[in-house]
Every structure is written in structure tokens, then in C-alpha cells.
Amino acid sequence: MWADAVLFSAVGDPKFDNNPSAKVRPEQGLLAMRKKLGLYANVRPVETFDCLVHKSPLKEELVRGADFICIRELTGGMYFGEKYQDDEKAYDTNYYTRKEIERILKVGYEYAMRRNRHLTVVDKANVLASSRLWRKVAQEMAPKYPEVKTDYMYVDNAAMRMIQEPKFFDVMVTENTFGDILTDEGSCITGSMGLLPSASTGEHTPVFEPIHGSWPQAKGLDIANPLAQILSVAMLFEYFGCKEEGALIRKAVVASLDANVRTPEIQVEGGAKYGTKDVGAWIVKYITEA
């Protein structure tokens, strides 16, 4: 029987990270799941919490109020294109079809229509053929969404603009690899990797997962921030139209931050110590009593 949705946590293990000849890696399982479920659209909101703006390495005035969504293509590009590796040479193919590009751009436009009607298509069309097709398709689609201001940005420039002027962005849409890299950068705007949720949607059962990987070094220490995971649950509810439930989870998260019930990496100096379990329990209590 199909599940209606999957709530996923994270994969990864350092014992594989520095072993280029490992035959099997935990990441393969995650990629296979994304591919098999046809989850081509990964929605990664980058939002700031007022009480955490000082946690960003960027200046407060730059990040306060920053709020954009990165739509990352998730089942194509270099992650899945033909690969080859021997001891002398190796390659990955950044393969995209028109159909794959059209459907992800459509998701980008739909989000832009529901938000501030500004879509930034991020590519590397000055160098990559795959990116030139992205830009061509985007230019063909743009007139169908006259209410949306579409702009095109090279990924190197986008990486710079994100830290120079994060408030410039409303919705950004990009290929798999660029989206992976840019969203880690996005977490610096928010202040912690432990704060960014995501929704992977497409043809079959959607998967809701934090953008962070696993953190094996923190195993058993009760210090990992559960908020990205909890906010992924909010996205899950919202996906099914349960707006109130989603809003309540978000409210509980903000309340926990305001009450300084935070994991160590975002705790205020001299603030009380809370672990993963404490934060989770506090939020559950807040929601049950609401």
C-alpha cells in the first residue's frame, strides 16, 4: 500500500566521506528514493527568525526579513546523468531534457504567482549547454506568466548576491547541483543548518526532509537541532491543505525560540542548556496545550 507521505530525517556517515572507492554509500539510498518516487521538485524555503538574525555570519540589516524559496530540480542533472570513473579519468554528465526543465520551471512560476511574483532562473548559460537549454525554455515560458518578473542569473553571481542582498530573491529555480550548493549557503542566512526544512514533491508520494545531512559526530550527545525536522512536518501538513496545523507547528517553533528553549548552536550566551529532546518535548507540550 502507498503511504500518503514520507517524513525523512537524514543519511550520511563519515566513514564513507573520505573513501572514494567505497562501492556503496548511504546517499545512494536517498537518491534512489527521490528518483523512484519521481520527486523532481525540491522546495527549500530560506526564512529568517527575527530573534536569530544575529546568528547569521552576515550583517543583521542584510538578513532581517529575508524570505525566499529555492526550487531545486531533484531527479536530473549531474546527480543522475551517465557517470564514469577509473584511476585516470572520471566524468558526470549534466543531462537535462526539455520536459524536465519545463516541469520544474512551472513549479517555480506557480510558487512565484503565490508569492511576490519574482522568479530568478539560476544557471550557468555562459558556459554550459545544459544551462543554455534551461534559459531557452525559461525564455519561452516567461510570456505565459506576464504577472511574474523573470530574471536570469548565473550561478556564481547568484551565490554572491545571496549573501550581498538576500532580500533580492523571492523564488529561485535551479538545477540539482546548483540547488544543493546554494541552499547550504542559504542556511547561513537563517543562522543554522538545523533550521531549514524542505519538501520533495513530484509524481508519487512526497517526501519531507530537512536540508541538512546526518551529524554522526553528535550521535548520543542530544545536541542536534530538531527544528528543521519539525518544520518539515509543518510543510507536510501544508502540502495536504492543513493550514491551521502547519501554522500551529510554526507558531510553536517561534515560541520555543522566543522562550530561549534552543539547542546549543543557537542558544543565547549564558542561556539555559537544552538538548534535542528538551526542544522536541517543549514543542509537543506547546502544541498539545494550544
Task: State the residues that interact with ligand IPM by CB under 6 A.
Answer: 11-12, 27, 30, 180, 211, 213
Catalytic site residue 123? Answer: no
> Shortest Cβ distance from residue 14 to ligand IPM (Å)?
13
Catalytic site residue 278? Answer: no
275 binds, among ligand IPM, Mg ion, none (CB under 5 to 8 A by kind): none
Catalytic site residue 156? Answer: yes
User: Is residue 209 close enough to count as binding Mg ion by CB under 5 A?
Assistant: no
The contact mask relative to Mg ion for 179-208 (x = CB under 5 A, - = no) is -x----------------------------
**CB-wise, 15 or 144, nearer to ligand IPM?**
15
> Shortest Cβ distance from residue 187 to ligand IPM (Å)?
10
C-alpha cell at 200: 520533495
Binding-site size, Mg ion (CB under 5 A): 1
**CB-wise, 11 or 233, nearer to ligand IPM?**
11
By annotation, the residues acting in catalysis are 79, 124, 156, 180, 184
